[in-house]
Structure 1
Amino acid sequence: MKTFSRLILLLACVWAACRHATAQTYSQQSFQVLNLASHPRGAALGESQTIADSTDLFAWMTAPAMLNGNNTRRAAFGFQSLREGMTYSSATMVLALRQQYPLGIGIRYLNYGKMDATDASGQSTGTFRAADYVIEIGSAHRMGNYGIGLTAKWVNSQIAEYGAHGFAMDLNAVFIHPTADFHFSVLLKNIGFATAAVGQSTTPLPFDARISSIFKPAHMPVRFYLTLSRLHDWQQTKGIEGASEWLSHTGVGADILLHKAFQLQVGFDGQRNQSLRYRDFSHRAGWSLGFRLLLRRLQVSYALSGYQAGYPRHFWGLQIHW
């Protein structure tokens, strides 16, 4: 308990420092690829959710404290096709350098596709490409019912000949109940800074302070997820008041355990719902659903979510064991 108390104190100090340094709105932040769910199950439960599941290899990318040294000899991949030739893909694997300190390696790639280049008069001068890359390395240590994890990230954004880099880390502490199926997590996400070439300006990384809980009633085939996000700056939601303000910081999700080999997921992201709302109509923005099929050496996952009416996002994932 003394070790965990010191850990919480450390996270609180870092939180306070980051709150002072990142009092910015989301529109003033860079590298939004860091806000995208890294895998289909995370997208299906809501992109702000913390996933704590030893069977899901991608889970450590949302909660590094859940890294497990038993998750070796596995690899996971995710792919999503977006509009206008854009694609989003991810991959991860876990190495057991030491049983107490497993090492997770993850890669994310957001390809914006080919774009037309024009001069000042509007005449075509060819094409160019744009893309974002994220490489992340994480490790964790378990102390009885408590765990601590850290992820270091390098992110690169490239548009034609212009580019910028960012360096960030995630700090995560988790409590796992010894008998009940209950997790409580504190996550400080994207603590870091961005750099750019001479003559270019940068904006802050999308820092996020979250608390999350996961609970499964003993005799109910449903696991519930609740996350409060962006706690470091409640004023990021200027113009939203009352219940809508709370809703914009809230994410909820559920795993419906129909069978040991088949699960359904449903989620709601309040921040996305409120930001895309137009005249009190949200076009179902913020809602998501998906499924996961668990076989002996293979897992297939799928998520359906959307940012606009009439164009849902399809996110597929594959996990292989050997």
Structure 2
Amino acid sequence: MPKKLLLFLLFSFCTVVYGQIGGKSTYQFLNLVTSPRQAALGGKSITIYDNDVNQAHFNPATINPEMDNQLALNYGSYFGEVTYGTASYAYTYDRHLQTFQVGVNYVNYGKFDGYDENGTATSQFTGNEVALSFGYSYNVPYTDLHIGASGKLISSTLENYNSIGGAVDIGAVYIDEPNDVNWALVVRNIGTQFTTYSGTNEKLPLEILAGVSQELENVPLRWHLTLENLQQWNISFSNPNQAENSLDGSSSDKKVSFLGNAMRHVIIGAELFPKKSFNIRLGYNFRRAEELLILEQRNFSGISIGFGLKINKLKFNYSYSRYTLAANTSLFGLTVNLQ
């Protein structure tokens, strides 16, 4: 019954909600990956259910007592001077109230040179955004279904423009222990701006995700499959490098097939030795690979790799994600067991 309920909710959301992706909404930093483990698995993994307190950022239903007193700190250098980081902490008050989680996401866009309308240099300016979150999950009695919610207070400063907003994430995860299969469904960034940048209210980057993962019986490996941006079917972007030229010198965008658009919703990943002190991770993001493809060059866009190493009460995580030949990103994370 819980799995049927998850499927019903998934198709219901897909039919009634229309969403936006890149460039059509504000607070886009909310969709950045929040930990090296998540990044190494291709991004947006929502089915991990263990003591990884970072998971609460993308699926609050995964908050559980194993995360009690776990503190995670993550830092990464994005493109140029852009840096961002996250932190997450969970605490179990008692077994009846389950576990609470608090977190923060922060991004700094670096310094920019300012100019007036005549091209005269003025002064430097910067931009940064931060989101504070509080999450809670609940195990439905007598079932293996877990549901959770996370509230976020968002602040954004871009030059001398400021905005404050709020959002809620709602998630569910079903743990099929006999088969080592996890099913998950998440609706992220349901919210609004409380104050706008310049009087125009903008939409938040609403997103619906579904996922499944399984640990193999005879191999120490867990595979992950995530379907992203399910609130909008057509998310294809015509890569100008793949434009079709005609005899008269004009060009037209290459049409994206039904299968090509469908695969852009898919993220796959695998984690070797998921329950050991040393883990190896590999992921592939199909949409990133297609949108950043360069013809006649192998740039391996969409691939991500990483590892985790646990030493006593410390765990170090690292990921490397490939975007283009000139732009890649690394994430570093440290998780501390404070018990």
Q: Which runs of 5+ in 2 are unaligned?
A: 238-254
| CA displacement 1:103-132 (0-9 Å, x = unmatched) | 110101100111111111212111111011
| CA displacement 1:201-235 (0-9 Å, x = unmatched) | 24321111111001011101111000111112102
Q: 1:200 to 1:308 in 2, by over 3 A?
A: farther
- Aligned residue for 2:153? 154
Does residue 121 of structure 1 match 2:137? no
- Aligned residue for 2:241? none
- Aligned residue for 1:172? 171
Contact 1:117-1:125 within 8 A present in 2 as well = yes
How many residue pairs match? The answer is 318
Q: Please tell me the residue identity of whatever aligns with 1:142.
A: N
Counterparts of 1:283 and 1:181 in 2: how far apart (Å)? 35
Counterparts of 1:49 and 1:14 in 2: how far apart (Å)? 19
Contact 2:210-2:228 within 8 A present in 1 as well = yes
TM-score by length of 1: 0.90
Q: 1:81 to 1:105 in 2, by over 3 A?
A: same
Q: Please tell me the residue identity of whatever aligns with 1:302.
A: Y
| CA displacement 1:163-222 (0-9 Å, x = unmatched) | 223321111111111322110111111122234437432432111111100101110111
Does residue 318 of structure 1 match 2:334? yes
Counterparts of 2:14 and 2:100 in 1: how far apart (Å)? 25
- Aligned residue for 1:93? 89
1:249 to 258, 265, 268: 265
Contact 2:13-2:231 within 8 A present in 1 as well = no
Q: 1:83 to 1:174 in 2, by over 3 A?
A: closer
Contact 1:11-1:188 within 8 A present in 2 as well = no
For the residue of structure 2 that corresponds to 1:43, the secondary structure is helix
Does residue 197 of structure 1 match 2:196? yes
| CA displacement 1:74-125 (0-9 Å, x = unmatched) | 2110001234322111101012234233111010110011111111121211
- Aligned residue for 1:221? 220
Q: 1:194 to 1:286 in 2, by over 3 A?
A: farther
- Aligned residue for 2:249? none
Counterparts of 1:7 and 1:232 in 2: how far apart (Å)? 15
- Aligned residue for 1:265? 281
Over aligned residue pairs, what C-alpha RMSD do you find? 2.4
Which stretch has the larger CA shift, 256-265 or 141-150? 256-265
Contact 2:47-2:183 within 8 A present in 1 as well = no
Does residue 132 of structure 1 match 2:125? no
Does residue 62 of structure 1 match 2:58? yes
Counterparts of 1:307 and 1:15 in 2: how far apart (Å)? 29
Does residue 29 of structure 1 match 2:25? yes
Counterparts of 1:69 and 1:30 in 2: how far apart (Å)? 34
For the residue of structure 2 that corresponds to 1:88, the secondary structure is strand
Q: 1:205 to 1:282 in 2, by over 3 A?
A: farther
Counterparts of 1:134 and 1:282 in 2: how far apart (Å)? 37
Following TM superposition, by how much is the alpha carbon of 1:15 offset from its aligned partner in structure 2, in angstroms? 5.7
- Aligned residue for 2:48? 52
Counterparts of 1:77 and 1:212 in 2: how far apart (Å)? 25
Counterparts of 1:287 and 1:49 in 2: how far apart (Å)? 15
The structure having more radius of gyration, on CA atoms, is 2
Q: 1:165 to 1:276 in 2, by over 3 A?
A: farther
Mapping 1:226-237, distance limit 5 Å: 226-237=225-236
